[in-house]
Structure 1
Amino acid sequence: MKSLFKRVIVPSIILLVSATSCADFDEINADPYMATESQTQVEFFINGAIINSQMDPHIAERIFVLYWKTAGRQQYGGGIATGGYDDGWSSDYYGMSYMGGWLNSIYAAIQVAEKQIESGNVKEYTQNLLQVARIWRVYLLSELADNFGPIPINGFQGENPEFSDLKAVYYFLLDELKDASSKLDISLSSSDISKFDQAYGYNYANWQKYANSMRLRLAMRLSEVDPAKAKAEFEAAAGGPLITQSAETFQVAERPGWDALTGVMTREWNYFQISSTINNLFLGLGGIKSADQVRADQASFIKPQNYLGLKLDDHFTSLTNDPSAGYWLDGLPYSIDPRAYKAYIIPGDVTNPDFNSYPSWDNTATTTERTLVNDKGDVVKTLNAKYTWNAPSYGSWGAKGAKNNIYSFNGATPRHGQKFRNSSNKRIFFAPWETYFLLAEAAERGWSVPMSGKAAYEAGIDASFAFWEISSFAAAYKASTDFNRVGTSVSWDHTAEPPATYTATFVNGYTNAAGTVEKAYPKNDLYKNGTVKNDHLTKIITQKFIAQTPWVPLESWSDQRRLGLPFFDNPAVENPLTNLPALNSGNYMTSNVKFFPQRLRYPSSLPASNAKGYAQALQYLGGEDATTTPLWWAKH
């Protein structure tokens, strides 16, 4: 045990010194290899594992922003959204500087706690700290598995590990949550070490709620591949205390600077532009008029209901099933989900205190006037995006994009506001709305849960609206039968399918001639063969997707991989997409799992560093090590 302690624990101490403020580390830091077991406390390792896994700006930009928020369709972008990946990013994340180090630390916490308990050298709360460490280990392992697929359960301890298939991983995680939650003594207080828990201050009742709510999440992940296990685990967890109040949210406060607690969305060169996917969910959803949301000086920019915008065929892609493709909205939508204007700021709204002007070294954020040109580069039309609302389609715009200087320009699109960019917020890992939407889905499946589907669904909406401080709209919103751009409404009791088409208006952007078009709602072949757009499950996942924005993109990506919901529009294919060869100009109006990223590739160093483990991983993966290979629990 002494040699194990030196091999596993001491590297963790080195990793965590910069992330903790305890005076006990002064002596350890002087000569870390002389650290004794009495100098290492479980809470130090837990604290370091939680803090460091908030992600410093280097890894946050690569994983949280460019992988998760793009794959999860919370922001416009390329890369993984079109099947790409970056081996350097994935290798950084997987390695000891980041995920490997976080797991090393939390495994160390568990080992130290178990050794202290075995030796009798314990404090009143040592047993509870062991359970907290096990719960956080579950989260970290689930994050790793949901990105890559098969992983080691007992890895990250200084030796090459065996890999486990995802079924074994998930069964282990669910067992751990069940056992750890049951062993927490929530009557204990640990106020003297509360500063070593950035999430809950060692409020053990909240840790128990987090464990149970996370068990709901992981159980539901198995709904399509192992429904009996999913149901049994979910029902058992639902009978315990859950995260249902804002004060119980698992979140960690950010701080300015450059360390693990710096905000995950602070890099100035990342624009955080609205995605076409969430925009199509927002438009018309809930029936709340823009006139009731925007300032008086913006009211004249609001367009009529079912107005699509300027039709600009020569400059805007149409080779995508994005229902807004081909049009540029020269104003604000008639009605829109009220969270839209809170999560993303209207272009040109520079007097809005939440307007973000990044990057600070140029004026692109405040520049709204841009041009469309012809093949020779001559200006065909000048557009001003001030007080407009547009989201560019993903993918290749080809020659049309080359002649279009506005569609993805920083100042011409809605972007996340300042409160998410300046390290003054709290990064949310699990909030009450997720608990409620999980309960709503379980109820819809006929599982035994403590709330009806409707009650849980509406409670989730209420929790999300409370977060955005827009509860005054909630009653009207929940009663709305208006369809959004993809054919879904809000009201739980309104499950009528939308008509095949609806009449929309537009203006020819080149001639200014007014026109009408019969617009069809997009077909989502991934869900019930595209025959259903407005059932309860579609409503639940639509609301969950919106509520998870901007903080929980990995879950949004996972829901789409698991269910094919909500509707994800295909990347445009004006030119072929090298990394998504299955998607082409002949099938872009259909949906297929091969059109969307499914996972991250393993680091290129893994086959050399652990050949046996890599071979196991590929065997369990059941396909090639590619971004388009579905995980065990996902749709195939």
Structure 2
Amino acid sequence: MKKIYLGLISLGLFVLSSGCSDDFGDMNVPSDAVTDVEPKFFLNSMQQEVFANYQRNVNLYPDLYSQYWANTVSGFGSPRYEYVDGWIGNQWKEFYTRHLRDALAIEASYAENPVYVDAIAIKDIWMCYWWSRMTDTYGDIPYFNAGQGEDVPYTSQQEIYVDLFKRLDHAISSITGGEEQYKYDDGYDLIYEGDARQWQKFGNSLRLRLAMRISNVDPVKAQAEVQAAINGTGGLLTSNDDVAKVPMWSQGWYDYLHQMAWNWGNVRMSKTFSDNLYNQSSAGEDPRAPKWFAYKVEGESKTKEEAGFDRYKGIENGYNLVPANSDDDYATINLEGGYIDFEGDGGVNLMYCPVMFYSEVKFLLAEAALRGWTTGDVNTLYKEGVSASMEYVGVSSDDASTYIDGLPNISGSNEAQLKQIITQKWLANFPNGVEGWADFRRTDYPDVTLPKDGVSGSSTVATGTWVKRVRYPDNEHLQNEANMPSALNTLDGDRMDIRLWWDTADTKTKTAGIMNSNF
């Protein structure tokens, strides 16, 4: 682990040499990277971006909009759909001035060297993940030739997705796994220890995720990409050993969930999430609940029984003035429950931040089977997804079986079946709020509530509707409106209730909790 952080010192020197500011022009100034810095130093930094500035980039936005968490600090605007440039605006700047530069430095220095074929492919797969996160946050963004030294027009989200599929296909198929290849080893690859074959699995699984993302807007393309992902070289994630997650160093400081939920008390479990931990199975409480959650009582972690509660309760989302004692009355993160992602490995890794669970792959396949795009029994794949999540979280096989046996089999209309799949997928994807929010926007499942105290009058989301994207940063409007989409290049037009390209389902068409627009 020491090597990793010594490596980051070298990377820090690179960043200092290239300089940065808040101006849009910075993202298009070529990096002055020293060409003999090894790729592993850059990749290590790129992976840590998953939890960089986590509170402002993720917890105050996707984590709340997915309704895994609810805010417990009065006056915070983001739970009521306000845009705060000093919070989520950081994601844009950090991606273009830091993350993209690192990727371009690897490409510029090593793309022509045959020893680095696998290293370049791994970098490309990781960048496809990051590009998808960026476009799924904002919609159209600067993409082609961004970071190359010139201002570039925004690329439509549709074009970005088409290119991401091409990039993933090329990267996955180009991996050799050869012994002569440069490897991101010695702890620098925080996810797969430089195992190129594991990166193939993740690349195919990411392709499957993105294929299902466009299932409503372009089903023909989606089906083709689903099948390409399933049949891709190396296959998909096949067990919980393949989970993609980023560890955090136990001796470092990280702006992650243990800070937000436990140390700072800024969030507690959402009531939406709590309700679904108790209403899905005839067995009652989801056995993952005590693994994930606890009550904080006088600075100590307590079970619900020890704290005097009959369940792990969540608070409603979207308060302006949060009720008193919210820290005491609602469940928070359990740092001692046996769930490895919150507890760490007891050694150098304090916690883990999720990128993709194996259970997600099972739910993606269940939905693909429901749509007739792959073989396999929908109900079997669905329950395998639940089982995979239970196993990963550390639930005993007996408790998992009892809960799963109490789940209703997949039945009813396609919409009703999809709701069952997505609701369990949403539970299993906890605490990956980025993915939870994306699935809600795509399918309008599960049943996410509107802000308790109403949509803020300072937001650009119409009353009675949900937030659908994050608007562009202030600096883009100040310095780059000429390259922005014409419909969004003013502050009035750049609204957060405008649906992304792949978001075609309209929540307002729900009848008794069931949509009519996902098929």
TM-score band w.r.t. shorter chain: 0.7 to 0.9
Q: Distance in 2 between matches of 1:272 and 1:421?
A: 18
**CA 452–386 in structure 1, closer or farther in 2 if over 3 Å, else same:** closer
Structure 1, residues 213-248: CA drift from partner, whole Å, max 9, x if none? 000011111011111111111111112311121121
RMSD (CA atoms): 3.4
**Does the CA contact (< 8 Å) of 1:81 and 1:394 recur in 2?**
yes
C-alpha deviation, 1:542, in angstroms: 0.8
Aligned partner of 2:475 in structure 1 is: 605
Aligned partner of 1:140 in structure 2 is: 130
Aligned partner of 2:365 in structure 1 is: 439
**CA 617–341 in structure 1, closer or farther in 2 if over 3 Å, else same:** farther
Aligned partner of 1:462 in structure 2 is: 387
Unaligned runs of 5+ residues in structure 1 are 1-17, 289-334, 356-365, 369-384, 481-489, 498-527, 584-593
C-alpha deviation, 1:271, in angstroms: 3.8
Residue 207 of structure 2, aligned match among 199, 215, 224: 215
Aligned to 1:62, the other structure's residue is in SS state helix
**Does the CA contact (< 8 Å) of 1:64 and 1:264 recur in 2?**
no
Q: Distance in 2 between matches of 1:616 and 1:574?
A: 30
Aligned partner of 1:180 in structure 2 is: 171
Q: Distance in 2 between matches of 1:625 and 1:31?
A: 33
Residue 413 of structure 1, aligned match among 330, 333, 336: 330
Residue 392 of structure 1, aligned match among 299, 309, 315: 315
Aligned partner of 2:101 in structure 1 is: 104
2:290 matches 1:341: yes
**CA 436–25 in structure 1, closer or farther in 2 if over 3 Å, else same:** same
Choose between structure 1 and 2: higher helix proportion: 2
TM-score (norm 1): 0.67
Structure 1, residues 173-201: CA drift from partner, whole Å, max 9, x if none? 11111111011113446568443211111
Q: Distance in 2 between matches of 1:232 and 1:557?
A: 25
C-alpha deviation, 1:350, in angstroms: 7.6
Q: Distance in 2 between matches of 1:27 and 1:627?
A: 35
**CA 191–616 in structure 1, closer or farther in 2 if over 3 Å, else same:** same
**Does the CA contact (< 8 Å) of 1:163 and 1:616 recur in 2?**
no
C-alpha deviation, 1:99, in angstroms: 5.0
Aligned partner of 2:418 in structure 1 is: 537
Q: Distance in 2 between matches of 1:265 and 1:568?
A: 24
**CA 88–617 in structure 1, closer or farther in 2 if over 3 Å, else same:** farther
Aligned partner of 2:277 in structure 1 is: 282
Aligned partner of 1:229 in structure 2 is: 221
2:68 matches 1:74: yes
Aligned to 2:353, the other structure's residue is in SS state strand
**Does the CA contact (< 8 Å) of 1:71 and 1:557 recur in 2?**
yes
2:40 matches 1:48: no
Q: Distance in 2 between matches of 1:142 and 1:215?
A: 10
**Does the CA contact (< 8 Å) of 1:454 and 1:492 recur in 2?**
yes
Q: Distance in 2 between matches of 1:616 and 1:472?
A: 57
Q: Distance in 1 between matches of 2:8 and 2:98?
A: 22
Q: For 2:446, give the aligned amino acid.
A: P
Q: Distance in 2 between matches of 1:167 and 1:390?
A: 40
Q: Distance in 1 between matches of 2:12 and 2:309?
A: 58
Q: For 1:390, give the aligned amino acid.
A: K
Q: For 1:405, give the aligned amino acid.
A: A
**Does the CA contact (< 8 Å) of 2:65 and 2:79 recur in 1?**
yes
Aligned to 2:50, the other structure's residue is in SS state coil
C-alpha deviation, 1:275, in angstroms: 0.7
Q: For 1:438, give the aligned amino acid.
A: L
Aligned partner of 1:475 in structure 2 is: 401
**CA 454–581 in structure 1, closer or farther in 2 if over 3 Å, else same:** closer
Q: How many residues align?
A: 470
**Does the CA contact (< 8 Å) of 1:275 and 1:392 recur in 2?**
yes
**Does the CA contact (< 8 Å) of 1:199 and 1:251 recur in 2?**
yes
Aligned partner of 1:93 in structure 2 is: 91
Structure 1, residues 561-586: CA drift from partner, whole Å, max 9, x if none? 00100111222357975537743xxx
2:149 matches 1:152: no
**Does the CA contact (< 8 Å) of 1:391 and 1:414 recur in 2?**
yes
Aligned partner of 2:58 in structure 1 is: 64
Structure 1, residues 299-320: CA drift from partner, whole Å, max 9, x if none? xxxxxxxxxxxxxxxxxxxxxx
Aligned partner of 1:246 in structure 2 is: 240
Residue 579 of structure 1, aligned match among 430, 454, 459: 459
2:495 matches 1:626: yes
Q: Distance in 2 between matches of 1:581 and 1:185?
A: 48
Aligned to 2:87, the other structure's residue is in SS state helix
Structure 1, residues 363-402: CA drift from partner, whole Å, max 9, x if none? xxx9x8xxxxxxxxxxxxxxxx65554323223578xx7x
Please say which structure displays the higher CA radius of gyration: 1
C-alpha deviation, 1:609, in angstroms: 2.2
Worse overlay, 170-179 or 275-284? 275-284
Q: Distance in 2 between matches of 1:286 and 1:549?
A: 18
Aligned to 1:425, the other structure's residue is in SS state strand
Aligned partner of 1:554 in structure 2 is: 434
**CA 473–556 in structure 1, closer or farther in 2 if over 3 Å, else same:** same
C-alpha deviation, 1:66, in angstroms: 1.0
